[in-house]
């Protein structure tokens, strides 16, 4: 027993280390002098490496049967004791490893990508802070604690999107992301409070055994899902994610592809037991709409990062649909594989942008447009190789991890309505098409680089960046899921999931054949095409959702605010002024009272005393004759008094 | 009794006149003079009352004493007035006011 306890405390320390080391990196970034800011780009990855090791250690020591649960009192409200704690089951620890490993790779990559940036300290600080918050979300055992970290994640995302805050567009995108996330989070908070009211507890474990009326469970589920809609960029709140591409590309890889947007999916999986069939149906519908919109967006965009952003939206929609209509464990699996290959794709895109920017004579011009790329495969072979492998993962080509996890989702969708299975297949097909399009026009199509780019300077980026992208490419192979390239019930799913998924070879074969055929067709289609120079306005504005939101939300809000301002000035300020004026008036009256009555009575006393004094003094005027007169009068009075 | 009554009236008149002189005259000599007048009216009273019991001369003897005291008093008073006049160059008491607050 004691040995067991000792091991438990070691696991606790390792988990706390994994949580707090990124925070240490955040704190350390502020201690380094500006002149030596390059130190932080060495220290931060080292700390993250330690964090990764701790996470791996925890993973090895947590078993499926006995989740590790640590709890401490946080504060007490009335009779309700609020606790904070760590709940480390296999799912959470696996997510910890995914988060810390991708964060480590992004830190290393950033050391190359951001070298020479004057604000590198702030960058690494916020990166560390983000990792800390994300680890907090993963480990939290209560919804309140999870919500706190959820907000911190939103804050650090805001900081990092607007990292280049001298660009107005970046600042606007950061504000937009923050505000849109707030809308969802308001619902999340309401959901938490409903659950608290009816279950009397905030911890996930106690909620799972609480008896909550099904109506309130449905309402709470919808509210919590609204938080997920905000954070995971689901319809109708997805518009912030394409704009968030204003941030540095490694940030996009870490936050807006691999981890933060996946937090919503993770939350859904973690509290899956709370959702009633109605909520699950809503989740499935929202996920389906999102995945379709995202896929179409990715198909029509020209900005390389925005294509990847829409692709992320689509894949997240797929996962969410999988949770709503199929098997949540399959979505979880796809979450892990997607995290690796999408982060890698972003980092490859970052390499391309970085190299093109360095080769460009005019630093301010946009180099993210795939219409102005092409032929990069020969110039950047290593990046091309990594990109190819991870694009295969995104498209779901057999032998990639993406194939297995997507296959798992499609198999899971067999359980639900048939329409979702059809949508799932459709999304897989669209994914293949836009992936081929992106790959073709970036690397293969005829070289259409603009004049201001010095072509002889284009080459693979710094070694560290190459190694990172290749590592992520390796992590996108089927080996991440299982040894068998067509069976998704491999070691990762065995480890992460409580039960074995049903396996349908029909789906597997069908999806494999379909994906390969569509790849071929798309390749043949795009081979001879060039992209038109026209970009439709609809695409630039997120399908018109931005202008729609402007019309129905922003403008009325502005009008309402103006009204309220007028009201404020008229009534609230008026009342305030009235109070102020009346106070001044009262003060004047008081001072008059003071001067005339209070001072007056004192002065009056003094005057009376003075008058009495002068009257008394006038008797002794110093004239002898007056004295005689007075004493004579006194004598007469005396005599008169004696005689009568 | 009628005779003594008119003497008493005279003496009252003299006393009042002396008192009035003491009150209203500014010069110290004149004040001394008023005092002498009051002495004499007192003397007149003594003599007038002595007429009602002629077997004893006590009233008249008393008047003699008063005359002597009045002479002494006048001598001392005039000496003081002279000395003060010498010192202050004034025989008016109101102007001798060294103790009084100046205003």
- φ/ψ of residue A427, rounded to 5: -65, -40
pLDDT greater at residue A207 or residue B12: B12
Residue-wise DSSP of A518-537: HHHHHHHHHHT----S---H
From chain B, the residues in CB contact with A628 under 8 A are 22-23
Categorize the per-residue pLDDT at B96 as very low, low, confident or very high, splitting at 50, 70 and 90.
confident
pTM higher than 0.80: no
Predicted pLDDT of residue A641: 93
User: Which two three-digit tokens encode residue A372?
Assistant: 């102005």
CB contact under 8 A, A624 and B100: no
CA distance linking residue B83 with residue B28, whole number of Å: 12
CA distance linking residue A156 with residue A125, whole number of Å: 10
Categorize the per-residue pLDDT at A121 as very low, low, confident or very high, splitting at 50, 70 and 90.
confident
Mean pLDDT confidence for A145-152 = 89
| Among A232-236, A347-351, A376-380, A522-526, the least confident range | A522-526
Contact A327, A408 (CB under 8 A): yes
- ipTM of the prediction greater than 0.90, yes or no: no
Categorize the per-residue pLDDT at A194 as very low, low, confident or very high, splitting at 50, 70 and 90.
confident
With both helix axes pointing from N to C terminus, report the angle between A401-413 and A418-439 in degrees, rounded to the nearest 10: 160
CB contact under 8 A, A622 and B23: no
**pLDDT tens digits, one per residue of A205-214:** 777 777 778 8
**pLDDT tens digits, one per residue of A297-331:** 888 777 888 888 888 888 888 888 888 887 778 88
- CA A47, A493, A55 angle in degrees (round to 5)? 15
Whether the pLDDT of residue A19 is over 80: the answer is yes
Nearest to A103 by CA among A156, A150, A178, A181: A156
Whether the pLDDT of residue A71 is over 50: the answer is yes
Give the N- to C-terminal CA distance of chain A in Å, as an integer: 123
SS3 state at A453: strand
Predicted pLDDT of residue A394: 84
Predicted pLDDT of residue B2: 60
Burial class (CB in 10 A: 0-12, 13-18, 19+), A157: buried
CA distance linking residue A410 with residue A511, whole number of Å: 8
All domains of chain B in start order, with CATH: 3-95 (1.10.287.3510)
SS3 state at A27: helix
Predicted pLDDT of residue B37: 93
**How many A×B Cβ pairs under 8 Å?**
16
Which residue(s) pair with A453 in the sheet?
A: A360
**pLDDT tens digits, one per residue of B21-56:** 988 888 889 999 999 999 999 999 898 888 888 888
CA distance linking residue A572 with residue A555, whole number of Å: 24
Torsion of CA A24, A29, A32, A37, to 10 degrees: 140
Q: In chain B, whose CA is at the least distance from the CA of A620?
A: B100
Whether the pLDDT of residue A4 is over 60: the answer is no
From chain A, the residues in CB contact with B23 under 8 A are 625, 628-629
Which of A621, A622, A628 is the closest to B22 by Cβ? Answer: A628
CB contact under 8 A, A625 and B23: yes
Whether the pLDDT of residue A57 is over 80: the answer is yes
Question: Chain A: nearest CA to B90, how far in angstroms?
Answer: 15
Whether the pLDDT of residue B8 is over 70: the answer is yes
Predicted pLDDT of residue A2: 39
Predicted pLDDT of residue A532: 56
CB contact under 8 A, B93 and A622: no
Predicted pLDDT of residue A476: 78
Which of A622, A623, A625 is the closest to B22 by Cβ? Answer: A625
Categorize the per-residue pLDDT at A3 as very low, low, confident or very high, splitting at 50, 70 and 90.
very low
CA distance linking residue B48 with residue B8, whole number of Å: 7
CA distance linking residue B93 with residue B27, whole number of Å: 7
Whether the pLDDT of residue B86 is over 70: the answer is yes
**pLDDT tens digits, one per residue of A122-144:** 888 888 888 899 988 888 888 88
Categorize the per-residue pLDDT at A387 as very low, low, confident or very high, splitting at 50, 70 and 90.
confident
Tracing tokens 């931060």 back to the chain, one arrives at A44
Which of B23, B94, B99 is the closest to A628 by Cβ? Answer: B23
Pick the most confident of A124-128, A243-247, B72-76. Answer: B72-76
From chain A, the residues in CB contact with B34 under 8 A are none
| Among A34-38, A412-416, A499-503, the least confident range | A499-503
CA distance linking residue A341 with residue A291, whole number of Å: 18
Which of B19, B24, B93 is the closest to A624 by Cβ? Answer: B93
Run of H or E residues at A74: strand A68-77
Torsion sign (Cα): A352, A358, A360, A366: positive
Mean pLDDT confidence for A48-65 = 81
Categorize the per-residue pLDDT at A635 as very low, low, confident or very high, splitting at 50, 70 and 90.
very high
**pLDDT tens digits, one per residue of A546-590:** 777 777 777 888 888 888 888 888 888 889 999 999 999 999 999
CB contact under 8 A, A623 and B99: no
> What is the overall mean pLDDT for chain A?
81
Residue B21, chain A, CB below 8 Å: the answer is no
High-pLDDT (> 70) share of chain A, %: 89
Predicted pLDDT of residue B5: 84
Mean pLDDT confidence for A185-212 = 82
Predicted pLDDT of residue A1: 33
Region of A543 please: left (phi>0), alpha (psi -120 to 50) or beta: left
Torsion of CA A546, A550, A552, A555, to 10 degrees: 180
């Amino acid at each position: 027993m004691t040995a067991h306890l000792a091991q438990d405390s070691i696991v606790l320390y390792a988990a706390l280390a994994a949580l707090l080391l990124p925070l240490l990196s955040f704190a350390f970034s502020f201690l380094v002098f500006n002149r030596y800011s390059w130190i932080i780009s060495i220290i931060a990855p080292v700390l993250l490496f330690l964090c990764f090791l701790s996470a791996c250690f925890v993973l090895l020591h947590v078993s499926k049967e006995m989740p590790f649960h640590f709890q401490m009192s946080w504060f007490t409200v009335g009779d309700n004791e609020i606790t904070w704690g760590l709940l480390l089951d296999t799912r959470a620890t696996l997510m910890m490893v995914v988060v810390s490993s991708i964060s480590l790779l992004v830190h290393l990559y950033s050391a190359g990508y951001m070298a020479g940036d004057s604000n590198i300290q702030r960058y690494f600080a916020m990166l560390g802070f983000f990792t800390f918050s994300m680890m907090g979300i993963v480990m939290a055992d209560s919804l309140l604690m999870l919500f706190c970290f959820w907000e911190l994640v939103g804050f650090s995302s805001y900081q990092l999107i607007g990292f280049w805050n001298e660009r107005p567009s970046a600042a606007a995108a950061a504000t937009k992301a923050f505000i849109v996330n707030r809308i969802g989070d308001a619902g999340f908070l309401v959901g938490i409070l409903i659950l608290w009211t009816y279950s009397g507890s905030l911890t996930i474990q106690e909620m799972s055994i609480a008896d909550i009326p099904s109506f309130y469970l449905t309402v709470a589920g919808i509210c919590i899902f609204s938080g997920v809609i905000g954070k995971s960029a689901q319809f109708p709140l997805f518009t912030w994610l394409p704009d968030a591409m204003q941030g540095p590309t490694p940030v996009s890889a870490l936050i807006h592809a691999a981890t933060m947007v996946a937090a919503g999916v993770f939350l859904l999986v973690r509290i899956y037991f709370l959702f009633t069939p109605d909520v699950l149906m809503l989740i499935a519908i929202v996920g389906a709409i999102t995945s379709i919109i995202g896929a179409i967006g990715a198909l029509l965009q020209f900005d390389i990062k925005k294509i990847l952003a829409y692709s992320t939206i689509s894949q997240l929609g797929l996962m969410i649909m999988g949770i709503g209509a199929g098997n949540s464990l399959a979505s979880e699996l796809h979450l892990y594989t997607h995290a690796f290959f999408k982060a890698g794709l972003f980092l490859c895109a970052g390499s391309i942008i970085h190299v093109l920017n360095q080769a460009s004579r005019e630093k301010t011009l946009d180099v993210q447009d795939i219409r102005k790329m092409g032929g990069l495969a020969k110039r950047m072979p290593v990046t091309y190789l990594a990109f190819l492998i991870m694009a295969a993962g995104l498209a779901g080509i057999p032998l990639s991890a993406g194939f297995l996890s997507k296959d798992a989702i499609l198999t899971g969708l067999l359980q639900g309505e048939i329409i979702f299975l059809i949508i799932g297949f459709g999304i897989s097909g669209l994914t293949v098409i836009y992936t081929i399009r992106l790959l073709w026009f970036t690397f293969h199509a005829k070289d259409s680089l603009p004049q201001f780019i010095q072509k002889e300077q284009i080459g693979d980026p710094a070694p560290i960046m190459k190694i990172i992208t290749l590592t992520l490419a390796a992590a996108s192979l089927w080996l991440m899921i299982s040894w068998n390239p067509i069976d998704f019930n491999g070691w990762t799913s065995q480890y992460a999931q409580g039960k074995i998924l049903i396996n349908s070879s029909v789906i597997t074969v069908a999806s494999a054949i379909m994906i390969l055929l569509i790849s071929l067709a798309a390749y043949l289609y795009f081979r001879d095409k060039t992209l038109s120079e026209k970009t439709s306005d609809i695409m630039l504005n997120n399908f018109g959702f931005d202008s729609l939101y402007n019309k129905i939300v922003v403008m009325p809000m502005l009008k309402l605010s103006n009204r309220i301002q007028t009201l404020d000035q008229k009534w609230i300020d008026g009342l305030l002024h009235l109070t102020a004026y009346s106070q001044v008036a009262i003060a004047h009256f008081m001072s008059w009272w003071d001067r005339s009555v209070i001072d007056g009575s004192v002065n009056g006393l003094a005057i009376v005393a003075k008058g009495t004094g002068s009257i008394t003094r006038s008797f002794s005027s110093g004239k002898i004759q007056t004295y005689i007169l007075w004493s004579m009068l006194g004598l007469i009075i005396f005599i008169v008094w004696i005689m009568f | 009794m009628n005779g003594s009554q008119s003497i008493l009236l005279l003496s009252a008149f003299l006393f009042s006149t002396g008192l009035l002189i003491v009150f209203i005259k500014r010069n110290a000599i004149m004040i001394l003079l008023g005092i002498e007048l009051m002495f004499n009216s007192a003397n007149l009273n003594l003599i007038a009352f002595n007429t009602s019991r002629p077997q004893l001369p006590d009233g008249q003897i008393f008047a003699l004493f008063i005359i002597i005291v009045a002479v002494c008093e006048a001598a001392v008073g005039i000496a003081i007035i002279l000395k003060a006049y010498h010192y202050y160059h004034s025989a008016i008491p109101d102007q001798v006011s060294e103790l009084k607050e100046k205003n």
